[in-house]
Chains A and B, each alone.
Chain A
Amino acid sequence: MLFWQILIDGFAISSLYALGATGFALIFGVSGVLNLSHGALMVTAVVAAWAAGNDLHAGPYSGAALGVAVGFGVSLLTYFLIVRPLQQSRKIREEEKEIFILTATLLWGIMIQELIAYLYTNNAKTVAPIVEGVVSIVGVRTPANEIFTAIVCWLVIAVLWLLVNRTRAGKAVLAASMNPRGVTLLGIELSQIYVAVWAIYGVLVGIAGVLLGMFLGVSSYSVGPLTASAFSIVVLGGLGSVSGALIAAYVVGYLETMTAYLISPAYRTIPALLLLIAVMYVRPRGLLGRR
């Protein structure tokens, strides 16, 4: 019984982690940007979907759609307002740009967090679920919403895979992650690829946020922990490797769920962080890292 419980709960939470971390890994893989405003963007999507339901009286579908749209918009805003000016700046030395972008996205995330707390308080918010009720799977009473979450996550990841591997634009993105110089030699504008990647990332972050809002709920306090969990999953998987991030998401998700059930929910995140440190020692490039 407990085994099935862990298997089912762990799968749902891991799928959500996978979706959240995929976008994060994609951005890093293609443009070398570690976006520390990741958690803030997710929370923005949740609060937008929540506000749509409560202030604008939108239904669950339109509320969720608005949340994703806002996630998309804020992602592009982050790129054009924060990341791009720094990438193109002539005043900052090339080798220092990464650290500048790291700091800028961190501060941007804190600004968003404070703004959300100011406008909507720091109480947790949840998004009205699209599917309600419970389903019994091998005797485990599972919220239908949990199954819905896992399915949507995998559909989105599958679409992303097709997009990257089967379309011309996607192949250009993939190529840019392997060899940015080579791509520019082929006559493809690198900045256009960056815009495309941030747009894809925006959709992913919006969907992941809204699903998280339906599943567990978030508050402005969640900004830091969400960024940290995406960051550790991506480091564990290998920086820039999307498939590594997927595997790492399941490792972390199941490790956390097992800890919560078998030891105590209070220690939920600790073993995953210990594992991360161990990986740093033994295999610094992560599970499937290339760098």
Chain B
Amino acid sequence: MRWRWQRSATRKPNEPIKIGVIAEAQSVAGSSIPQAAQLAADEINASGGVNGRKIEIVSYDDHSTAPEAVRAFQRAVNEDHVNAVIASYISEVVLALEPWTGRLKTVMVTPGAASDVITENIAKDYNHLKYTFHGYLTSTSLAEQVCAAAKDLLVTGLKMKTAVVMSEDAAWTTPLDAEYLKCLPEIGLKVLDHIRMSPDTTDFTPIFNKIEGEKPDVMVTGISHVGVQPTVQWKQQEVPIPMIGVASQATNSSFWADTNGATEGVMYQGVSGPGVAVTSKTLPFVAAFEKRFGNTPSYCGYTAYDEVYYIADAIKRAGSNDPDKLVDALEKTNYVGTVGTVQFTGKDSPSPHALKIGAGAIAGLMLQWQDGKQVNVWPADLAKGKLKFPKFIKVGSAD
């Protein structure tokens, strides 16, 4: 394999920069990834490319399965000679690709997977796995942001005291739940129960029933593979407990239609939201995306768009296609994107190549579905409205 990248490293300077995009086109979250990447590439090309080199996006559909993703990655590197890959929003898939980034010495950035294991692996075997970059928040960071928002909105604002953690059983929720169980008591929410459900669950009645019996003030969620069904059943059964947390499907603008409006009142963590100018680049990106594709980008759309820009920037700074130089350049990324300022943690961090979070980096948002719209309610300086719940929710009267 070695000769291949060496050959590509000695390419002529005016050859295009090829970026492979591996994602599932049939899912709402995944379909935005190649679209947003193409949008970024076209914008860069329209303004002259990178030192005269055009960006070319090569897309592969992996149907969110690890074997298809690995085959796509091999093809991207060996047949299509890409310079870097943007891959998947499913942790299981990214974890399967991770060793291949080392074997084929090709940079991979994920726009949406969350599992902390991705960066933990890099820490264990940096020299081999340094080609992997975690272009989305780790599960631990996601949980930290939910806790920060819950502290202001629920504990200080609504005097809530107790919570039940409800997550789907998947790779990304293991570190998420661990952080929830640690940070919720710290902000003053006693965790009464911790429920992990199968992503195949279709009838959530028994789960909601059990939770209701425990009388928590709030349910803290970690759901991505499921979303429509628990939300619809929560509304239909009029479960009187509000939901806050990470609910990936709720970030999609189509979620209102998919649930026939049952999502009214659901609170979810996001890195972006309609009309929220996280940076000066956010709203122009959303407008351009809507104009071209007729819908709003999913959360991975924002990150995939930024990734094309900062990969192009890193290739420019690296001054060559050499993957090791590209890794060095990416580690020095300081790029204001659509979701905040992108900076990666360094080689010596316990989780190398994770996004830095917090003020000045990526601060995150808490949004709530209200009357068919996603309204940002946290942090206060970016808030567009106040919390509001459907009638069946009994705030603060659970005990």
Contacts and interface: CB of A to CB of B under 8 A. Distances in A.
A124 B258 contact: yes
A134 B237 contact: yes
Nearest to A60: B260
B397 interface: no
Given A121-B28, A266-B197, A261 B228 contact: no
Contacts of B205: 9, 260
Given A121-B28, A123-B227, A126-B262, A265 B206 contact: yes
Nearest to B233: A216
Contacts, number: 86
A123 B258 contact: yes
B257 interface: yes
Contacts of B200: 225
B26 A265 contact: no
B120 interface: no
Given A141-B238, A266-B169, A260 B27 contact: no
Interface in A247-290: 257, 260-261, 265-266, 268
Given A54-B257, A134-B238, A141-B238, A121 B26 contact: yes
B203 A126 contact: no
A129 interface: yes
Contacts of A145: 236
Contact of A217 (B197, B207, B209, B229): B229
Interface string B113-124: 000000000000
Contacts of A127: 260
B203 A265 contact: yes
Contact of B228 (A117, A123, A143, A266): A123
Interface residues on B, range: 20 to 34
B47 interface: no
A125 B228 contact: yes
B28 A123 contact: yes
Contact of A121 (B27, B198, B238): B27
A125 B26 contact: no
By secondary structure, the B interface counts as: loop
Contact of A265 (B198, B237, B258): B198
B51 interface: no
B251 to A, nearest CB: 12
A275 B192 CA distance: 35
A216 B236 CA distance: 10
A222 interface: yes
B166 to A, nearest CB: 11
Given A118-B26, A134-B238, A260-B206, A265 B201 contact: yes
Interface string A91-105: 000000000000000
Interface in B168-223: 169, 197-198, 200-207, 209
Contacts of B169: 266
Contact of A123 (B27, B206, B262): B27
Nearest to B201: A265
A269 to B, nearest CB: 8
Interface string A134-170: 1000000101010000000000000000000000000
Contact of B236 (A117, A121, A129, A225): A129
A209 interface: no
B321 interface: no
| Interface hub of B31, B197, B200, B227 (most chain A Cβ within 10 A) | B200
Given A126-B228, A126-B232, 7 more contacts: A117-B26, A123-B228, A125-B228, A126-B260, A126-B262, A217-B232, A218-B202
Interface of A: 5, 9, 13, 50, 53-54, 117-118, 121-129, 132-134, 141, 143, 145, 216-220, 222, 225, 257, 260-261, 265-266, 268
Top 6 nearest A-B pairs (CB, nearest first) are A124-B228, A266-B198, A117-B26, A260-B206, A128-B260, A143-B236
